[in-house]
Amino acid sequence: MCKVIEDMRKESLQEGVKEGIKEGAINTAKRMLADKILTLEKIAEYTGLSLNEVKKLKTE
């Protein structure tokens, strides 16, 4: 039973890290969009977000 709990804890931690990384990429993309220097394609490339995600952030 302890193994199951430990595996669940590790999985939760990994999900939290992934969410944190994604949130950081979103914040970076928002700052890049505010500067209005780079193309949407370049922002997607540099942040690792999809082009559709960057386009959505631009409209928000």
**Predicted local confidence at residue 1, as pLDDT:** 59
Alpha-carbon distances, residue 5 vs 8, 12, 17, 23 (angstroms): 5, 10, 18, 27
The per-residue pLDDT string of the chain (60 residues; one tens digit each, 9 = 90 and over) reads 588 888 888 999 999 999 999 999 999 999 999 999 999 999 999 999 999 999 999 999
The reported pTM is 0.82
How far is it, in rounded angstroms, from Cα 39 to Cα 41? 5
